[in-house]
Copies of this chain bind each other. A is one copy, B any other.
Amino acid sequence: MITKRTLLKLMPGLLVFPLPAGAADPLPSWNDTAPKKAILAFVAKATTKGSPGYVNPDERIATFDNDGTLWAEQPMYFQLLFALDRVKALAPQHPEWKTKEPFASLLKGDVKAALAGGDRAIVEILMATHAGMTTDEFEQIVQQWIATAKHPVTKRLFTEMVYQPMLELLTYLRANGFKTYIVSGGGAEFMRPWAERVYGIPPEQVVGSRIKTKFELRNGKPVLVRLPAVDLIDDKEGKPVGINQEIGRRPVAAFGNSDGDLQMLQYTAAGDGSRFCLYVHHTDAVREWAYDRHSSVGQLDKGLDEAKAKGWTVVDMKADWNRIFPFGSK
């Protein structure tokens, strides 16, 4: 007779990946390769009472970058595409833009020339399109754009350009008592209007870059006005700062895809007890895009080295995901 103990000795994997027999696979879009095994092992350890790696439910904070981690970011950050659309929409109210860079090039359709001004040009475009209105008005603008604008390559809604394996991962973590957060370099108020519907992540769990706002009474009605001044750049060193400001605890799991996420992963890894850090590596030029060390969007260079050195989990999109987008592939 084979006892339970003998069985466990013969198949130690049962202890490490205790998917109950007959339970549906929580991560069907993930191949049975190392990253999926690492995720299942981490969650089993963190949720097994008495296990040395047990994590109290209160402490189960998981933070996700957005651009390139939850949704795509090629051929350029989607929020930048939003800003370019807004420049066109606002141009009639700004006749001076016809002769003023970066707006003049943009309005002629020459995005490359417009962005040649570097960060300064981008900040000018962002401030001209993201400030000056109330927070309620901005939410309406984002809602309208996200409901209708199409991706330049796939012609899909941007909210369809999300990674099916990551949607499954978010659901799986939440089912195991994790609170899932977005911690993104993108604007918090650009993501909050649709993050709950698309990712199941409510506004209060979206940390992002912020511009300053000002409280005003307009005809007795209280409003918050968006000002053309940066309050937080929630990227690189700014990510742990944003996490500390808005969450106030160190995450136990963090997910990113670029050097912009490195400090968040370092901060997460440095805590006590069970820790999980994962990088999504864009390796699939056919179904999605392939880019890393030399990309101007979502550069992954130092992070890739550190992930290897520290033994963090690295997803090879091409090898580890059997499905990329809910609709299939690019």
Tell me the A residues contacting B by CB distance below 8 Å: 58, 61, 135, 179, 188-189, 192, 196, 202-204, 206, 210, 213-215, 217, 221-222, 224, 231, 237-238, 240-241, 244-249, 263, 266-267, 270
Give min CB distance, A260 to chain B, whole Å: 13
| Oligomeric state, in copies | 2
Contact residues in B for A210 (Cβ distance below 8 Å)? 245
A214 to B214, CA, bound (A): 25
Instruction: Give me the 8 closest cross-chain CB pairs, A-B, nearest first.
Output: A203-B248, A215-B237, A222-B266, A204-B247, A246-B246, A222-B267, A215-B240, A192-B248
A215 to B238, CA, bound (A): 7
Contact residues in B for A188 (Cβ distance below 8 Å)? 245, 248
**29 CB < 8 A contacts A-B:** A58-B196, A61-B204, A135-B244, A189-B248, A192-B248, A203-B247, A203-B249, A204-B246, A204-B247, A204-B249, A210-B245, A213-B241, A213-B244, A213-B245, A214-B237, A214-B241, A215-B237, A215-B238, A215-B241, A215-B263, A217-B266, A221-B270, A222-B263, A222-B270, A224-B240, A224-B244, A224-B267, A231-B245, A245-B245
A240 to B215, CA, bound (A): 7
Contact residues in B for A267 (Cβ distance below 8 Å)? 215, 222, 224
Contact residues in B for A221 (Cβ distance below 8 Å)? 270
